[in-house]
Amino acid sequence: MQNILVIGANGKTGRIISKILRDSTDFKPFAMIRKDIQKPFFENQGIETRIGDLEEDFSDAFKGMDKVIFAAGSGGDTSDEKTIAIDQKGAIRAIELAKANKLQKFVMLSSMGTDAPSRVKGLENYLKAKKAADDFLRESNMVYSIVQPGALTNEKGNHKVEIAQKLKKEGEIPREDVAQALVYALELERTKNTSFEMISGDNDLKEAMRNYI
């Protein structure tokens, strides 16, 4: 049983990730939360928590962990300062801590569009911050996977996707499918040290991750 630290666990996607991990036979999730008031949601589901704030010292959260999924995000509506603090500086610090604690893998939730942030109006700074963190991870010498989905929706997932290292079109995808992809990326050998984009499509999610990256 591997201990998985979920950073951003209290977000919409992070909550789904935590549940998938809880129901697995291979992983035990530890939800990193900022406040004690957030504990009951997870503890009522049998999910342990770790206190940690990306804008402060969150090094204790990494103790005893095997791998990490970084699913935190400031979103497109926060200030530039907050975006840099969470999506860039917070993510980079998490990578440094994962490396210092000799974690086996770092799975990053990123976004499509990081290769050309200026083309996505209103999200330029968010995508620039994501790209800076992604690039830092690629150069960190950690084993990693970077998942870059299209626009996230709250629709029910159906495990049907289109995946490639670079898709030549935009699209949407349910958070449930992205969460499952992040969990698959913890173990699938094909995802080792690679980045891939994903949107909803016609291919089975796990098979697509094995064959189309």
State how far the Cα of 142 lies from the Cα of 174, in Å rounded to an integer: 28
In angstroms, the CA 168 to CA 35 distance is 41
Identify the pLDDT of residue 84.
86
Q: What is the pLDDT of residues 166-202, one digit of tens each?
A: 998 989 999 999 999 999 999 999 999 999 999 999 9
Say whether pLDDT at 112 is over 60. yes
pLDDT of 124: 76
Confidence of residue 30 (pLDDT cuts 50, 70, 90): very high
The total number of structural domains that make up the chain = 1
Tokens of 32: 């990193």
CATH number at residue 144: 3.40.50.720
Q: Give mean pLDDT, residues 74-80.
A: 67
**The one-letter amino acid at 89:** K
Q: Which residues pair with 131 in a beta bridge?
A: none
pLDDT at 134: 96
Q: Which domain holds residue 173?
A: 2-211
- pLDDT tens for each residue of 126-170: 888 999 999 999 999 999 999 999 999 999 999 999 999 999 898
The mean pLDDT value for 98-109 works out to: 97
- What is the H or E stretch that residue 125 is in? helix 124-138
Q: What percent of the chain has pLDDT over 70?
A: 94
Mean pLDDT of the chain, nearest integer: 92
- Given a contact cutoff of 8 angstroms between Cβ atoms, the answer to whether 147 and 179 are in contact is no
Collapsed DSSP state (helix, strand, coil) of residue 107: strand
Whole-model pTM: value is: 0.94
pLDDT band at 76 (very low <50, low <70, confident <90, very high): low
Cα(18)–Cα(86) distance, rounded to whole angstroms? 20
Q: Which helix (H) or strand (E) holds 20?
A: helix 12-22
Q: Which of 67, 70, 14 is nearest to 45 (CA)?
A: 14
Contacting residues for 20 by C-beta, under 8 A, at least 6 apart? 179, 180, 183
pLDDT the model gives residue 85: 86
- Give first-to-last CA distance, the chain, whole Å: 27
- Residue 178: what residue type? V
Beta strands in the chain (DSSP E): 2-7, 27-33, 48-51, 67-70, 105-109, 144-149, 151-153, 160-164, 172-174, 194-200, 203-204
Alpha carbon of 91 to those of 14, 127, 129, 204: distances in Å? Answer: 15, 13, 9, 30
